[in-house]
Structure 1
Amino acid sequence: MNTSETLADLVAAEDVLLFVNAAITATGQREFRSDAVGQQLSLDFLHAYVLVNYRRVYASSLALDINDHNAARIVLGLLETAGEAGAEERRTEGRLIAARLALLPPQRVYRLFGEVRRAGINNRRTRAIMRDWLAARPDLGHDAVKYRGGVKTAARHIHLRCPEGAGPLAEVGAFLFRPGRLPRYEHRLLDAWRRAHYEQGAVAELPFTVAEGFAARHGMKREVFLKRAAPRMTRLERLRTHSVTQRPEIDLTAMPLTRLALYVLSLPFEQRAARRTELTGALRTAARRAAGGHAGSWGRVHAVLDDSFSSSGSGQKRRRPLAVALAGHHLLEVLAAPGAYRGLWTSGRGDALLVRPWGPTPLGMRVLDALEPGPGGAAPDRLVIVSDGWDNAPAGLAGEVLRVWRKRLDPGRRTAVVHVNPVYDADGFDVRRLAPGVPTAGIRDAEDLPALVEIARFAEGRTGAAALHAYLDRRVALFLGEKETVS
């Protein structure tokens, strides 16, 4: 740490890390140990605090691997308080907002635009951002059918000109604001929506979420409807409907790693065992894709993976912590050198495919096991702990083990230790930590693990505020495509 840095600099760095961890993990939904109201109040405070005190950092967070919920909240906060920023700040914020909106799912962006309208944010800059995003949409007619209320709200707010007559924009305007005026539409989906009111065959031409309502209206059998709608389903829609019927088929090899882990955990043990080769192969393929150029670069890696009862999550985040651990297990195996990975589950199970949330959290005992030398008598180069941090069998043992290890047995830090936590602790305004000297980072998707390990090193207290801000600046430059500014 740079000795020239003041106490205020260190506090600022801690505040930044606190917010980043929350923005990665928290979604305002119920967790295993806290309800939704507590989560929302805690998150509200953090957003307000960082926006007022560290506006530059607040905006820079859009370039990090934060979740969509917090990205939308940051955009709304920046637009709502634009008058408090200087001209240069507004230009940078505008670019960050535009770049982040391009990555967000369209339904979330339309929901955000609705919040912008309800908040009365109607300045020229905001309307320009909304207008540019709408203009970049590949098919506004498709959006008008699938997200009709959102498109209508956005069009009204920016005073989108939808002239009468011919042309795509004219048809969208007629569809949104003058329904029934045109006898037919040139746009395929707009006309399919019109015909679906009285023609059952047109239902299958519509986006799945819209078609569901028409199918129920026509009294179509669910299985027949799903079979007809299969070609137009998105990957997530296929996943959601797979439990209802074996159709449509799912391409597991194309699924993101954490999403695939959630799917695997949703299957009964019998199906997991029967499909072991298929499921394990898909998880390893997704892990190799997520590792990218980092594969095999982490040396000897030992991992402690939490499959205690609390990893079951909540009704809103069902099995999410366990899915992150399962996905992390396969990713760490790829990141480690060939044959140099060892994964230890808190339950003591040795079969990752059949894990389930069960029992207490003996993190301390598993950390002791993980610090044991591997083949050849060598200590691990990295110890990664994936857990919500509630070490309770016995309580506090993991933190004490790590403290003694670092102070007495490994003062030279030959083994890098990092704790990634998928659960936001509303009472502590952060993810729960195991020990003061152990860097901890929040995590939502296991795919972000390599980047989060880099963030976690700032939480260790050995790197100062200047280095943290330089890191944020590099991430912003990369996010905005300014690669030449990155050293």
Structure 2
Amino acid sequence: METYADLIECEDVLLFANAAITSTGQREFHSTAGDQRLSLDFLHRYIQGNYPDLYAATLALDINDHNAALIIANLLSGAEGDGGLIARRLDRMSPPRVYRLFQRLRGAGVNNRRTRALIRDWLAGRPDLAFDAVKYRTQLKSAVRHAHLRLPGELGDFLFAPFSRARYDTPLLEAWRRAHYDKSALYELPYTVAEGFAARHGISRAVFLERIAPQLTRLERLRLAESAQAGGLDTEADLAAMPLVRLASYVLSLRADVRTRRRAELVGALRAAAARAAGARAGTWGSVAAVLDDSFSSFGSPVKRRRPLAVALACHFLLEALAGDYRGRWLSLRTDPLQARPSGPTPLGQRVIDALEHRPGLLVIVSDGWDNAPPGLAGEVLRVWRRKLDLAGEVGIVHVNPVYDAGQFDVRRLSPMVPTVGIRDAEDLPALVELARFAEGRAGLGDLRAYLEDRAAAR
């Protein structure tokens, strides 16, 4: 039998999970960066203080790297958390984020044995530490000092006395040394390092991009796509391999006429990325309808430009891949998702009515929850649907929200009648629909603990 305290604990942990999935401490459309950081800091302190074991276990969920780094820093400052789970989460984080975490730990004076062991093991597991020494030289040097490590061979000299050797046997380290006086050597270096040398040597941008092309990562090629076209670089193969939301953000950054001209390429890439994300689940979800928010607030903020709209666009293509029968409805009544843009009010209520008209097996609402045309209509529609028209719950309804509401310490909800979960990456949508059963009250604290344990074991 679940006690009242168990229900409160379950709700608190789900509230924190929503925040940890969506918020990155940056400015949003309705709240400043300061509001976001203050609200998020309170939640971390509250959950860690009251539910330390569950706080650590949330590392097994698909929370974003910003919050994962905060959790790991807080756990290492004390004596909590599973060292294996922390190490596995570090392996899933981007190297720059991990190095920033190590610098944060050094600045906070967290230098216990477990911290030093984690830094040592993570560095030992890096596939090419010479690459890190060149690309993240300052951060790697800081981590080595903090963990009291001695790097073997040339790496130690390269980090702390780079010009003490007349030559390095490691090709990448030698290329870095030669690039100081030899223009041709810089094209053997990572793009971000080579860029600085190119400016020092006065190499034109067009020549530099053309010759550095083999060194570019997929993300770098995507970021440089517009200027790369002038340099003769082909980015088509890279698009289909990108994560869905990142690809959607790229598509939305293009002018409308460019999207029209490259329509076949862009739609093909989005569908290929969606099919990859759907995997074996493709076509198994039956009848699915979606209400997709492209109102003006889907612009996000200058630092998270069009992020909510990119999540909606990515979810549209993923749901299309997952469903046997799919209908997507944009708030603007736009029929071409490739031409989506942030504009107009948020008439969620009317679009929910339209989506429910055909009684789909599942309705997914992708929105920041600011229903304002008229205010509150969506919540009333959902209340009447649940209490009057669909008492048996034949239509599953899930609201996924990509924006953290700092004032409410949660993502904004449309109605207590339907579950709301935070979302950051579209690939997490199937897992979030599963997580929604806890928010809906169909599963209790025991089930939630078992779910977290299963996720941790699978990582």
Within the candidate set 420, 435, 445, 1:455 is matched to 435
Give the aligned residue type for 2:328: G
Give the aligned residue type for 2:194: A
Residue number in structure 1 paired with 2:64? 67
> How is 1:271-350 mapped onto 2 (pairs within 5 angstroms)?
271-337=258-324, 340-350=325-335
**2:459 maps to 1:470:** no
Give the aligned residue type for 1:42: S
**2:351 maps to 1:366:** yes
Residue number in structure 2 paired with 1:197? 180
Distance in 1, Cα, partners of 2:361 & 2:162: 65
Distance in 2, Cα, partners of 1:51 & 1:449: 26
Task: Provide the alpha-carbon RMSD of the alignment.
Answer: 1.0
Distance in 1, Cα, partners of 2:228 & 2:88: 38
Residues 205-247 of structure 1 show CA distances to partners (whole Å, capped at 9, x for unaligned) of: 1111111111111111111111111101111111111122314
Residue 68 of structure 1: how far off its partner (Å): 0.7
Distance in 2, Cα, partners of 1:271 & 1:434: 36
Residue number in structure 1 paired with 2:196? 213
Residue number in structure 2 paired with 1:100? 89
Are 2:221 and 2:228, in contact at CA under 8 Å, matched by a contact in 1? no
Distance in 2, Cα, partners of 1:41 & 1:354: 36
**2:139 maps to 1:150:** yes
Say how many residue pairs are matched.
Answer: 455
Distance in 2, Cα, partners of 1:134 & 1:277: 43
Within the candidate set 8, 14, 18, 2:15 is matched to 18
Residues 349-404 of structure 1 show CA distances to partners (whole Å, capped at 9, x for unaligned) of: 1111111100000000000000001xxxxx20000000000000000000100000
Residue 51 of structure 1: how far off its partner (Å): 1.1
Give the aligned residue type for 1:255: M
3-state SS of paired residue (2:153): helix
Distance in 2, Cα, partners of 1:293 & 1:62: 25
3-state SS of paired residue (2:421): strand
Residue number in structure 2 paired with 1:376? none
Give the aligned residue type for 2:296: F
Residue number in structure 2 paired with 1:438? 418
3-state SS of paired residue (2:40): helix
3-state SS of paired residue (1:441): strand
Distance in 2, Cα, partners of 1:101 & 1:465: 27
Give the aligned residue type for 1:157: H
Residues 79-103 of structure 1 show CA distances to partners (whole Å, capped at 9, x for unaligned) of: 0012xx4xxxx5xx10011101111
Unaligned runs of 5+ in 2: none
Within the candidate set 403, 406, 411, 2:391 is matched to 411
Residues 400-428 of structure 1 show CA distances to partners (whole Å, capped at 9, x for unaligned) of: 00000000000100000000000000111
**2:121 maps to 1:124:** no
**2:205 maps to 1:222:** yes
Distance in 1, Cα, partners of 2:234 & 2:306: 23
Residue 429 of structure 1: how far off its partner (Å): 0.6
Distance in 2, Cα, partners of 1:352 & 1:276: 11
Unaligned runs of 5+ in 1: 163-168, 374-378, 480-487
**2:34 maps to 1:49:** no
Residue number in structure 1 paired with 2:241? 254
Distance in 2, Cα, partners of 1:461 & 1:354: 38
**2:257 maps to 1:270:** yes
Residue number in structure 1 paired with 2:28? 31
**2:405 maps to 1:425:** yes
Residue number in structure 2 paired with 1:483? none
Residue 179 of structure 1: how far off its partner (Å): 2.2
Residues 282-314 of structure 1 show CA distances to partners (whole Å, capped at 9, x for unaligned) of: 111111110111111111001000000000111
Give the aligned residue type for 1:370: A
Deviates more, 1:129-138 or 1:117-126: 117-126
Distance in 2, Cα, partners of 1:80 & 1:22: 22
3-state SS of paired residue (1:245): helix
Residue 66 of structure 1: how far off its partner (Å): 0.6
Distance in 2, Cα, partners of 1:207 & 1:356: 35
3-state SS of paired residue (2:399): strand
Distance in 2, Cα, partners of 1:30 & 1:57: 28
Give the aligned residue type for 2:356: L
Give the aligned residue type for 1:62: L
Distance in 1, Cα, partners of 2:124 & 2:178: 27
Give the aligned residue type for 1:226: L
Give the aligned residue type for 1:121: V
**2:232 maps to 1:242:** no
Within the candidate set 334, 348, 353, 2:338 is matched to 353
Are 2:291 and 2:364, in contact at CA under 8 Å, matched by a contact in 1? yes
Are 2:288 and 2:323, in contact at CA under 8 Å, matched by a contact in 1? yes
Residue 462 of structure 1: how far off its partner (Å): 2.7
Distance in 1, Cα, partners of 2:150 & 2:223: 37
Distance in 2, Cα, partners of 1:465 & 1:158: 39
Distance in 1, Cα, partners of 2:389 & 2:418: 15
Distance in 1, Cα, partners of 2:451 & 2:130: 41
3-state SS of paired residue (1:366): helix
Distance in 2, Cα, partners of 1:67 & 1:309: 25
